Structure 1
Amino acid sequence: MNTTHDWITTPVTADLLRGALDLERTAHGVLPHRLPARARAQCADGQLAMAESQPSGVRLVFRTRATAVELDALPTKRVYVGAPPRPDGVYELLVDGRPVGRGNVTGGNTLTIDMTTGTAEHRPGPVGTVRFTGLPDGVKDVEIWLPHNETTELVALRTDAPVEPAPDRGRRVWLHHGSSISHGSDAAGPTSTWPALAASLGGVELINLGLGGGALLDPFTARTLRDTPADLISVKIGINLVNTDLMRLRAFTPAVHGFLDTVRDGHPTAPLLVVSPLLCPLHEDTPGPSVPDFGALGAGQLRFRAAGDPAERATGKLTLGVIRDELARIVAQRSAEDPNLHYLDGRDLYGEADFAELPLPDALHPDAATHRRIGERFAGLAFTAGGPFTDRGA
């Protein structure tokens, strides 16, 4: 085992990354993206830009004999005015699939967001380093899962032994799209978001296109799903459309059809699972938009409330109940000609009994324990015998 480190610096290239769809060269290094450049160019929304550059599900994967690993990174940390400080993003290290270490990168850029005015201020900061030492000697596959909730520029990878890309394990690729819950909001770490947990339990490779605030049936997202190689696909639709009060029922139905049509253009026979919203009492029967609860913010708590009127459902405003009914109807209609299309009611992942036991702390997002429950439920419903993602070749 090495007792002193003769560091080898390995350039971070696409063949060392999984879960990213694009790699942008920056002044400091490289920035993984979860939407390709062409998609990013079609939307100027700052929230989407922030979300897709946060590397949920993105990991460095390589084979090495190294017993020590260092990663220089430039994170962008979020600060919400009036809210409690957010913890630093977590980097998790796995050896041959087993977790062996966690760490943080201090410093970095700061994005200060004022929810009362809708403004944001970006301040540059220094590059930091996360270190993992005492790794077992011998050839092994190493994964460094990047923080799911911090934009992360990768500056330098150093090891005390040479690195090569890890071989393909031949596992099926699961491509998932959803909202901030799929992105991993308030999960304990990058391997503990519910999609990462479900992927681990299901024995599949995850590409997570959960985009906080950005699951809005955008055509460029549908084209990204269409063009990304995958064996299994799921789309979780609903909560962001209510949060933003983006469209009415008249627009929603053809938008869902168009989104699914586009995905099917690239994946005509892959198992495709449509997941409706988890239970969220805030918006079950009350339309959006969702707005910050400034009373709670004044007390140092980040919470949300529904600003819509239940009576507006009569004019086509969307609620989670309306969306679930329509998604179930759309999937039933389409599945007559598409036997590989499936529907999952999100309340089977998190429903009324779960809310009573594990309420949503900010009224919208689950906590770490709830992420684990949702991931285990999804794996049990989707990947086990009879589920839409059952490995028919196993």
Structure 2
Amino acid sequence: MLITTPITAGLLRGALDLEPTERGLLPHRLPARARAQCADGQLAMAESQPSGVRLALRTRATTVELDTVPTKRLYTGAPPRPDGVYDLIVDGRLTGQATLGDGDTITIDLATGATQTRPGPVGTVRFTGLPDRDKDVEIWLPHNETTELVALRTDAPVAPLPDRGRRVWLHHGSSISHGSDAASPSTTWPALAASLAGLELINLGLGGSALLDPFTARAMRDTPADLISVKIGINIVNADLMRLRAFGPAVHGFLDTVREGHPAAPLLVVSPIYCPIHEDTPGPCAFDPSALSSGRLRFRATGDPAERAAGKLTLGVIRDELARIVEQRRAEDPNLRYLDGRELYGEADHAELPLPDELHPDAATHRLIGERFAKLAGF
């Protein structure tokens, strides 16, 4: 007989808010006050996708069932995206995976921006054959599917995973940090780096939304953490969001706000990884229509390199500016460091492991970046 345990904040890690819904609870990676300050649909989608969010239990259970409602996103003219993966981690080791084929669906027409929503049923992921002993159990939720939590059932009582004294690492970045094209939630590069370094991850990688938003800085300011990193650049370029004049002060303001809550924590500023389409060409970034017509997703830069003279940003410009800002601030902030993103993934790596859609790393590259970050971050 299975026991139903109410899902509470104490059983979850990696979420900054839990929103009650008609069916259950929706984990959020930004607090309600932050969400209320921006009506952007891309941000709403990204922050509700629970990258790094996991159920964390101490239990003797050999069977665990989790009822959820995932949200599937379909793109007109593009092949269906793989179903999100649930990773089962037992005593620190990946021991099982599951997917759900049903759920709510949102169909998006990339050409017009039109969307169509269809509600779907509650589904169940089931893990059996767990060791019959007290153990740490984590279920990492799909990093790329909004996931409502409905019910948790086990064949033995569960308790929140106790504090093991691991340092908390708070990270903010783009879709690459969010985990786009990673194989599963525990194999995004931040999750891999956290595992290798023995850290508790809070991942504020927000696809398309690493834009130096003040509300994100305030969320980071107010979130307890021992170690902090911010990966800045690619979204600002591919959104063509700002010019050089605005970029520097925005970076200073973001770091100032984070420092209000974490005055002495190690703070690492990471510039973009190597991305040929935007190294010297400004945004905006756009879907490649020729690839879309053949059922593939690819991106291209639509700016003109000559526009750099007018203050348009490229990855090269941003790296230079971030290095300058960090060097300037280090005179008063010795716990601030800079890491060039090309040390995580550079031109030589691109020759061996190219970005499949010209923008996002594949599963092997996520592993490479995670391993290198764990060595280079100095955490």
TM-score, length of structure 1 as denominator length: 0.96
Structure 1 residue 128 corresponds to structure 2 residue 123: yes
**One of 129, 133, 137 as aligned partner of 1:142:** 137
Q: Partner residue of 1:392?
A: none
Write the deviation string for residues 263-298 of structure 1: whole angstroms up to 9, x where unpaired. 000000000000000000000000000000011100
Displacement after TM superposition at 1:68 (Å) = 0.3
- Aligned partners of 2:184 and 2:100: how far apart in 1? 14
Letter in 2 for 1:265: E
**One of 55, 75, 78 as aligned partner of 1:83:** 78
Q: Over aligned residues, Cα RMSD in angstroms?
A: 0.6
- Aligned partners of 1:106 and 1:372: how far apart in 2? 26
Structure 1 residue 176 corresponds to structure 2 residue 197: no
- Aligned partners of 1:11 and 1:45: how far apart in 2? 32
Q: Partner residue of 2:250?
A: 255
- Aligned partners of 2:317 and 2:109: how far apart in 1? 32
Q: Partner residue of 2:347?
A: 352
Q: Give the alignment of 1:1-394 within 5 angstroms.
A: 6-382=1-377, 387=378, 389=379
- Aligned partners of 1:119 and 1:348: how far apart in 2? 39
On the 8 A contact 1:272/1:342 being kept in 2, the answer is yes
What SS is found at the alignment partner of 1:369? helix
Displacement after TM superposition at 1:145 (Å) = 0.3
Displacement after TM superposition at 1:100 (Å) = 1.0
Write the deviation string for residues 280-333 of structure 1: whole angstroms up to 9, x where unpaired. 000000000000001110011100111101110000000000000000000000
- Aligned partners of 2:308 and 2:90: how far apart in 1? 51
Displacement after TM superposition at 1:355 (Å) = 0.3
Letter in 1 for 2:236: L
- Divergent runs of 4+, >2 A: none
Displacement after TM superposition at 1:119 (Å) = 2.2
Write the deviation string for residues 229-280 of structure 1: whole angstroms up to 9, x where unpaired. 0000000000000111010000000000000000000000000000000000
On the 8 A contact 1:23/1:33 being kept in 2, the answer is yes
Displacement after TM superposition at 1:131 (Å) = 0.4
On the 8 A contact 1:106/1:129 being kept in 2, the answer is no
- Aligned partners of 1:10 and 1:283: how far apart in 2? 48
Write the deviation string for residues 22-76 of structure 1: whole angstroms up to 9, x where unpaired. 0000000000000000000000000000000000000000111110000000000
Q: How many aligned residue pairs are there?
A: 379
What SS is found at the alignment partner of 2:187? coil
What SS is found at the alignment partner of 2:328? helix
Query: Structure 2: any 5+ residue segments left out of the alignment?
Result: none
- Aligned partners of 2:342 and 2:93: how far apart in 1? 31
What SS is found at the alignment partner of 1:191? helix
- Aligned partners of 2:136 and 2:368: how far apart in 1? 28
Displacement after TM superposition at 1:106 (Å) = 2.2
Letter in 1 for 2:10: D
- Aligned partners of 2:102 and 2:311: how far apart in 1? 47
- Aligned partners of 1:113 and 1:350: how far apart in 2? 31
Letter in 2 for 1:307: T
- Aligned partners of 2:180 and 2:171: how far apart in 1? 15
Q: Once structures 1 and 2 are overlaid, which stretch shifts more, 171-180 or 98-107?
A: 98-107
Letter in 2 for 1:224: A
What SS is found at the alignment partner of 2:185? coil
What SS is found at the alignment partner of 1:149? coil
- Aligned partners of 1:256 and 1:160: how far apart in 2? 50
Letter in 1 for 2:195: S
- Aligned partners of 1:243 and 1:62: how far apart in 2? 40
What SS is found at the alignment partner of 1:100? strand
What SS is found at the alignment partner of 1:24? strand
TM-score, length of structure 2 as denominator length: 0.99
Query: Structure 1: any 5+ residue segments left out of the alignment?
Result: 1-5, 390-394
- Aligned partners of 1:47 and 1:291: how far apart in 2? 15
- Aligned partners of 1:358 and 1:85: how far apart in 2? 24
